[in-house]
Structure 1
Amino acid sequence: MSHEQHANPRQNVTFDSASESGHAHGYLRVPASGNGPGVIVVQEWWGLTDQVAGVVDRFASEGFVALAPDLYGGRTTHDAEEAQRFLAELPPERAARDLAGAVTYLLARPETTSATVGAVGFCMGGAFVLTLAAQQGERIGAAVPWYGIPGPTTDFSGLRAAVLGHFGEEDASVPLDAVRETERRVREQSGAEVDFRTYPAPHAFYNDERANHRPESAELAWARTTAFLREHLR
């Protein structure tokens, strides 16, 4: 499938990518202070929605220069069947190229004060965060997957980031046995600091647009995330 570009009012930056078009788009916010550590925010399978943009805005309010790459080329949905199709049409290698381009772009922004960037992702994006950290090595200083893990054959040997993960104990789609096995493999293959936390919550408990939203777990995980990013991004 061609990487067709659709209008998305949330897109406000364009950056170089190794994808077919040679560029990708995203949503960037700079904190009121004018600068701060850089954080890549990787979308759920719904696309670059208002909810994802709200996460970027919230990171900016916490003092981070935050960028959400638009991996679907402008498309968004609130329908699970359509989201599944969008995900199926997204070659992992193209997503990796767009995300790598976003890392390069964010590190080059004059507002970014950190020598590495953080990567934070939700659901599909959580899996992409760990893959991105393994591919980008020293350029990712902190990786925070929320209720998403990559496939069992993923090679984590190149990962150099500190890792903090957030997972729901009631998540039927991401079993805790698989979460613990991924945590073990990341630690053993990379030697990185890895801390996977669990919460009394279902899948997608941070997303306040979904029925699974659990405010108490969401806010605890958010506080842990921002403290972790501040600690590891210099």
Structure 2
Amino acid sequence: MPDLHIPAGAGSHQQAYLATPPVGDGPWPGVVVLQDAFGMTDDLREHTDRLATAGYVAVAPRLYSPRGGGPRCVAAVFRSMTSGTGDVFDDIDAARAWLAGRDDCTGRVGAIGFCQGGGFALLAGARQDFAAVAPNYGHVPTDAERELEGICPVVASFGARDVSLKGHPERLESALDALGVEKDVKTYPTAGHSFFERFPAQAVVRRLGAGYDHDASEDAWGRILRFFETHLKAA
């Protein structure tokens, strides 16, 4: 399906990629798909299509687009990932509300994110009306128990070889335990950062502790879809 424009925060619009289930008329649950640092990549579209094939209306907003893109916009989005503040959260909530309001959506919406999108999914799950979130190798706030108070159920995936997120899986699991939140947190021993993504020059990327890991990504997809089945479909 071609790109389209959907609402963003402050009355603006953001570009997005929409995928709907290939069979049936719905309504289906929705999933907001949140980008990694590289934005609207072929991988992100494939992730969105995979969710649609599994029976979800899925939309991937281009988070760099509402303010025109460019280096300053990209830098602002990165700052939002680590600070937990910024207009990007309004854009994510606008995408959620737009998706929930579609005639082919049940109104029950989850979020999945990768890298910076994983961090956004985690915080949005605590602040916005999501039914479940799936952060993948996303930043976990230092004071996770406070920042994630009120969060919906979480299925999270990390790579043990990801030196950039050392200690983050344990911090997330501890916070969710303290908050009494239903969770599935798993760290894959063979995987590094971005293990869902098929970057070019994989041999080089792997030396940097990142890159595609087939076994880890497929196992994580299975966990995510089972978790979403429970919290988005069955519910």
Normalising by the residue count of structure 1, what TM-score does the alignment of the two structures yield? Answer: 0.83
Question: 2: distance between equivalents of 1:172 and 1:76?
Answer: 29
Identify which of 4, 16, 33 aligns with 1:41: 33
Query: Which residue pairs with 1:100 in the alignment?
Result: 93
Choose 50-59 or 146-155, whichever is displaced more.
146-155
1:89 aligns with 2:68: no
Number of paired residues? 212
- Indicate which of 134, 143, 147 corresponds to 1:144: 134
Does the alignment pair 1:214 with 2:213? yes
CA shift for structure 1 position 174: 0.8
> How big is the shift at 1:116?
2.1
User: Following TM superposition, by how much is the alpha carbon of 1:76 offset from its aligned partner in structure 2, in angstroms?
Assistant: 8.8
User: SS of the counterpart of 1:140?
Assistant: coil
The reply on whether 1:128 has 2:120 as its aligned counterpart is: yes
Q: d(CA) in 1 for partners of 2:6 and 2:69?
A: 20
Deviations 1:4-58 (A, max 9, x none): xxxxx9632x222223x52222111111123321011100010111211111111
Tell me what 1:153 maps to: 143
8 Å contact from structure 2 (residues 115, 138) kept in 1: yes
Describe the shift of the 1:105–1:124 C-alpha distance in structure 2 as closer, same or farther (beyond 3 A): same
Structure 1 residue aligned with 2:103: 110
Distance 2:164 2:35 in 1: 17
Give the root-mean-square deviation of aligned CA atoms: 2.2
* Residue aligning to 1:170: 161
> Which structure shows the bigger proportion of residues in helix conformation?
2
Distance in 2 of aligned mates of 1:216 and 1:34? 33
User: Identity across aligned pairs (percent)?
Assistant: 32
Letter in 2 for 1:198: T
Unpaired runs of 5+ in structure 1? 1-8
SS at match of 2:50: helix
CA offset at residue 178 of structure 1?
A: 2.4
Cα–Cα, structure 1 residues 10 and 123, in superposed 2: closer, same or farther, change >3 Å? farther
Q: Secondary structure at the match of 1:151?
A: coil
Q: Supply the distance in 1 between the matched residues of 2:2 and 2:118 (Cα, whole angstroms).
A: 21
1:53-68 aligned within 5 A = 53-68=45-60
Work out whether residues 164 and 195 of structure 1, in 8 Å CA contact, stay in contact via their aligned partners in 2: yes
Q: Distance in 2 between matches of 1:185 and 1:63?
A: 31
CA distance in 2, matches of 1:18, 1:61: 29
Offset of residue 94 of structure 1 = 1.3
Q: CA deviation at 1:87?
A: 4.0
Partner of 1:196: 185
Q: Secondary structure at the match of 2:164?
A: coil
**Deviation sequence 1:145-185 (CA, Å, 0-9, x none):** 101123213511121x211101101111111x222112212
Contact 1:49-1:76 at 8 Å conserved across structures: no
Q: Which runs of 5+ in 2 are unaligned?
A: 81-85, 203-210
